[in-house]
Amino acid sequence: MPARLIESLATTELLADVFSDSSVLQAMLDFESALARAGAREGIVPKNAAKSIAQAAKAEDFDVAELCRGTLRAGTPGIPLVKMLTQRVKSKDAAAAGFVHWGATSQDVADTALVILLRKSQPLIESDVRRLEQALRRAAAKHENTVMLGRTLLQPSPPVTFGLKAAGWLAAIARSRASLNAAFEEALLLQFGGASGTLASLGDKGIAVARALAQELDLKLPEAPWHTQRDRLANLVCACGVLTGSLGKIARDIALLMQGEVREASEPGGDGRGGSSTMPHKRNPIGCAVTLAAAQRVPGLVAGFLSCMVQEHERGVGGWQSEWPTMAGVIQSTGLAAASMAEVAEGLSVDTARMRENIEATRGAIFAEKAAMLLAAKLGRSAAHKILEDAGREGLSQNRNLADVLAERREAAAQLDRAALKRLEVPEEYLGSAEKFRAALLSSRKGNHSARKKD
């Protein structure tokens, strides 16, 4: 389903569908029907009753507006849901109605439904993150020798390669994806504890029913119910925050490279993408903008979730009730950022000629460090720094290349021969360990991936 208009810059269609009213409602109903089947497996719910409950647990037959009104009055969706489901079952099978929600509490329904929604979300995010990784890996390989300005504090600095930059992006995303997957794995657990988290109402059948329920829903069974222990969900939220931050870093870099004064890279366009309502010439970084919006939105949501971890005793008041919209916002924002950056990276245009032009436009100023190091070996660091500082100012004021200015300075020319001055401003000769770092980032990602698969 399409996203609501107010959320159109905050989710994808697929994730909007996961967190739609019908999807959330069906997740809760799936819990109730699975609970009935689990009870039947352990002999505490008649099989015919379990069948009747499952047949009635269809989201399309429920009034969502009525459920929302009831939720606001009850403080939990579980109470009005169970009432509505019971009525539906009773209309077809009066005897079965008494077994609806047998042994559970309202938070069991809400938490397990959330976990079901998270499970649906994981492969959607994973797919887009892997698309992004593949695109970045291609860029890192294709541009291993593409020189460009390094930029520190947004000012020109010694050259790097675009391959190294892309490899750095890739490595951060790969690390973030691994952490997110681990957090998902840890969080996808059944919640089933009954009133106080002891399943006392089921007597000595409690753990057996819990085990059967976990099997019915294909969820892992935790050591014990976790009604007020929200650390696993918090880890997932934090992992989303880190991934979204890594995605935002890429978006920021690309948006800056797209500036008209820079023009070293650009997002894919077409189909109304990146245009302006008033300026036909513009090609805006829309994928980057949407990703940056998510990266700015998610940290606040993460902080909000963490603040709600302090929950009272066996069942909290106000803490877990705040989590649904927060978690939905985090997951959908993370997924949107991943999908947006995958699209950007897959269609990214890199202007290698413009990258070299921007290096040359500095007239060698970015190689002042190189010249200073060459002179420092013979004149000392302080003297060399002073020479380059003066030469840099002169070159800037006279719009001349650094090498030409140094050639006219006796103290520099005496130490740097004509050949050294001629090669001073060749970017490929001042890349240091850039290629080794690029290769290490790529091979490290392979090694970590292989190790995880092997484990």
Report, in angstroms and rounded to the nearest whole number, the Rg of the chain calculated over CA atoms.
Answer: 30
**Region of residue 364 (left: phi > 0; alpha: psi -120 to 50; beta: else):** left
* Residue 338 near residue 291, CB atoms below 8 Å: no
DSSP letter, residue 279: -
- Helices (DSSP H) in 143-230: which residue ranges? 162-187, 206-217
> 148 forms bridges with which residues in the sheet?
160
Enter the tokens of residue 4. 């609501």
Q: Which long-range contacts (CB under 8 A, 24 or more apart) does 10-14 make?
A: 10/293, 10/294, 10/297, 10/329, 10/332, 10/333, 10/336, 11/332, 11/333, 11/335, 11/336, 12/124, 12/332, 12/335, 12/336, 12/339, 14/124, 14/335
Q: Residue 400, by phi and psi: left (phi above 0), alpha (psi -120 to 50) or beta? A: beta
Would you give the DSSP letter of residue 318? S
Write out the catalytic residue numbers. Answer: 276, 315
Cite the DSSP H helix spans in 78-205: 78-92, 94-97, 106-142, 162-187
The upper half-sphere exposure of residue 290, i.e. CA atoms within 13 Å in the direction of its Cβ, equals: 25
Cα 104 from chain centre: 34
Q: How far from chain centre, in Å, is Cα 134? A: 16
